[in-house]
Amino acid sequence: MHFSLLEPLPPALAGALTELRGQLAALNPVVVAYSGGVDSALVAAIALEQCGQGALAITGVSPALAPHLRQEARIQAGWLGIRHREIPTSELADPAYASNPEQRCYACKRELHRLLAPIAAAARGASVVDGVNADDLGDHRPGIRAAREFGVRSPLAAVGLTKAEVRQLSRALGLPWWDKPAQPCLASRFAYGEPITAERLQRVAAAEAWLLAAGWAQVRVRCQGQTARIELPAEQLERALGRWAQSEPRQALVAAFLALGFTAVGLDLEGLVSGKLNRELAASPLPALSGSGQQ
């Protein structure tokens, strides 16, 4: 398989694609830590192109992965034709994750890569690669430290590809999910220090699924105690305010959320801001660490 360009690329981006292909070809065989997001899907696509049957995509499955994202990951892997496996992860059993400290993502990725390491070793000593991009290196992402401790490679970051460039490249290569919204794991809906349980994760997943089914394409449901706070992109706030000012749609929303176990529901008037819950870290700066999931 070879992905042909459907549109021209700027010289620098074309060079980065050539370099990305070379890096993955040199690593053959590879195991891709594959979430189904735009970044790891691009790595999976180029890994398949360069390594063929030497490429294996693996998705870690736990209550923190929304069911619709799990299904999308399956569909995308099938579209690509890459070998794909799902493995259960048990980060919720680790207090370093379930207590939701500031380094929660480190515990999550440590669990994932603990499981990927023997799979890679059994696959002819495959290298494990992930979808970390150059932008991620400047964010609070403790999971990157866990990945590095296990020797995981980040080819997108290595060739300097930003998130916007990953999308541009994915579109040029004809990957139909190039504009898929970022979807951090469901644990990111809880403020640091709020305990995370399977029940709470499933409640958030069900609330977001309800909103998606109601036609809101990009959404977060932040969980503050028993209160749900809905975040929508700022450009959709006027529509949301108008709709939920009407009695029937508002009552349907409130009834659905109360039935899920929330005691109150509100709309965040600032809108959806990726990384919003990391603001609290500014008051007590952490040592410089790289890592995994946006809040």
103 within 8 A of 33, measured Cβ to Cβ: no
Q: What is the DSSP string of 158-225?
A: HTT--HHHHHHHHHHTT-TTTTPPP---GGGGB-TTS---HHHHHHHHHHHHHHHHTT-SS-EEEEET
Residues 6+ apart with CB under 8 A from 257: 207, 210, 228, 265
Q: Is residue 45 within a helix (H) or strand (E), and if so which, with residue range?
A: helix 38-51
66 within 8 A of 208, measured Cβ to Cβ: yes
Predicted local confidence at residue 289, as pLDDT: 35
Q: What is the DSSP string of 106-168?
A: HHHHHHHHHHHHHHHHHTTSPEEE----GGGGGS--THHHHHHHTT-B-HHHHTT--HHHHHH
pLDDT in tens, the chain (295 residues): 789 999 999 999 999 999 999 999 999 999 999 999 999 999 999 999 999 999 999 999 999 999 999 999 999 999 999 999 999 999 999 999 999 999 999 999 999 999 999 999 999 999 999 999 999 998 778 999 999 999 999 999 999 999 999 999 999 999 999 999 988 999 999 999 999 999 999 999 999 999 999 999 999 999 999 999 999 999 999 999 999 999 999 999 999 999 999 999 999 999 998 776 666 665 554 444 333 344 4
Q: How many of the other CB atoms lie within 10 Å of CB of 93?
A: 10
256 within 8 A of 221, measured Cβ to Cβ: no
Residue 204: C-alpha distances to residues 133, 199, 234, 235, 262 (Å) = 27, 9, 21, 23, 9
Predicted local confidence at residue 280, as pLDDT: 67
Whole-structure pTM value:
0.91
Predicted local confidence at residue 177, as pLDDT: 97
User: Cα(88)–Cα(79) distance, rounded to whole angstroms?
Assistant: 23
